[in-house]
Amino acid sequence: MILWAQAKINLGLWVGPRQPTGYHLVDTVMYPIEVKDRIVLEPSHTLRCDSDTPGVPVGEQNLMMRAYHWAREHWGPLPTVRMAVQKQIPLGAGLGGGSADAGAVLRWAWHELGFGPPPAVEGTEAIGMDVPFFVSGRPARARHYGELLTPVADRLQGFWVVLANPGWPLATHVVYRAWDEVGRESDNRISEVIEGIERGELAVDGLQNDLEKAAFRVDPRLQAFRQALERWLFPVPCFLSGSGATYYMLGSDPADPEWAYWAQDRLRDRGVAWVMAARLGMGKDEE
């Protein structure tokens, strides 16, 4: 069986102070995007997790393994499988790749056990705070630590964006630690983003990411990367997804793929490490 693990982008990200739990309060809209990891599940005598992508944790360190164990403990017995992930989502990119893989395994486990749709998300934050979103797979406002979800209308389905990653990862916990040093709470404009989505448009003024300055502190090259993107694609603005290091850009008519493919080719010609034109919205889960 083949599972597809779909990435996300953050449409705005507000960050609040660190709580006694060690986590920060957040408020964001997470939207699925058609960039996917491919996970092959095969019957096996022993539970295994492999990847052909350098740097991907294997064995018990992989979130897919944690998801499998969590589902077996909380939902019921599962067949023993080998899980092999072929990565398309960059590592440490702010696109949720590891959590997306875990979410795909949880959706498979839910259906494997014969439960009806949609999959339950309660408790899956024990694997990762954004895992509930990836189990759901639907656009949502994510609050508290990112695990409390409120559905958002899927009115941006088919909008084209261009994703650009500089080729190096940023560790989420390191960026949040830097936010503690440099961050300041901004005006929370997530409600503006949601109102725009309800109208079928993106409220660009609400797409600020409070982690961006912290990400610049962690790796100053990221600021130069953003400046280069804005210079090459002027006058299109760039927005950081999650804790970075991926930026996303939209043309003046997001429903038209022509600009997205033009921008993709332009950035590839300038040597950007990873670039992809992709559509917002939900894709298929498995085949």
The per-residue pLDDT for range 160-180, each reduced to its tens digit, is 999 999 999 999 999 999 999
Is the residue at 67 inside a domain?
Answer: yes
255 has pLDDT over 80: yes
As given in the structure block, the two tokens for residue 208 are: 């600020």
Banded pLDDT at 286 (limits 50, 70, 90): low
229 has pLDDT over 90: yes
Total domain count, the chain: 1
- Annotated catalytic, 8? yes
Is the residue at 141 inside a domain?
Answer: yes
Q: Please tell me whether 241 is known to bind a ligand.
A: no
CA angle 106, 276, 87 (to 5 degrees): 35
Coil/strand/helix, residue 239:
strand
Is the residue at 195 inside a domain?
Answer: yes
- Inter-residue contact 278 to 258 (CB < 8 Å): no
d(CA 238, CA 250): 8
Q: Please tell me whether 103 is known to bind a ligand.
A: no
Bridge partners (DSSP) listed for residue 3: 39, 286
183 has pLDDT over 80: no
185 has pLDDT over 80: no
Bridge partners (DSSP) listed for residue 144: 26
Handedness of CA 268, 270, 272, 275 (dihedral sign): negative
284 has pLDDT over 90: no
d(CA 128, CA 5): 15
Q: Please tell me whether 95 is known to bind a ligand.
A: yes
Is the residue at 284 inside a domain?
Answer: no
Q: Please tell me whether 20 is known to bind a ligand.
A: no
Is the residue at 209 inside a domain?
Answer: yes
User: Burial code of 224-240, b = ≥16 C-beta within 10 A, e = fewer?
Assistant: ebbebbeeebeeebbbb
Is the residue at 287 inside a domain?
Answer: no
The per-residue pLDDT for range 14-39, each reduced to its tens digit, is 999 999 999 999 999 999 999 999 99
Mean pLDDT, range 54-75, rounded to an integer: 94
The per-residue pLDDT for range 74-97, each reduced to its tens digit, is 999 999 999 999 999 999 999 999
Residue 107 CA: distances (Å) to CA of 113, 166, 203, 220: 10, 31, 32, 38
How far from each other are the two terminal CA atoms of the chain, in whole angstroms? 6
Q: Which helix (H) or strand (E) holds 277?
A: strand 274-279
Bridge partners (DSSP) listed for residue 208: none
Percent of the chain with pLDDT over 70: 99
Q: Which of 8, 36, 87, 213 is catalytic?
A: 8
Q: Please tell me whether 94 is known to bind a ligand.
A: yes
Is the residue at 268 inside a domain?
Answer: yes
Q: Which of 130, 210, 213, 219 is catalytic?
A: 130
Output the pLDDT for position 285.
Answer: 66
Output the pLDDT for position 205.
Answer: 87
Region for residue 44 given its phi and psi (left: phi exceeds 0; alpha: psi -120 to 50; beta: otherwise): beta
0.75 surpassed by pTM:
yes
Is the residue at 285 inside a domain?
Answer: no
Q: Please tell me whether 91 is known to bind a ligand.
A: yes
CATH of the domain at 56: 3.30.230.10
d(CA 233, CA 267): 8
Residue 213, domain extent: 2-279
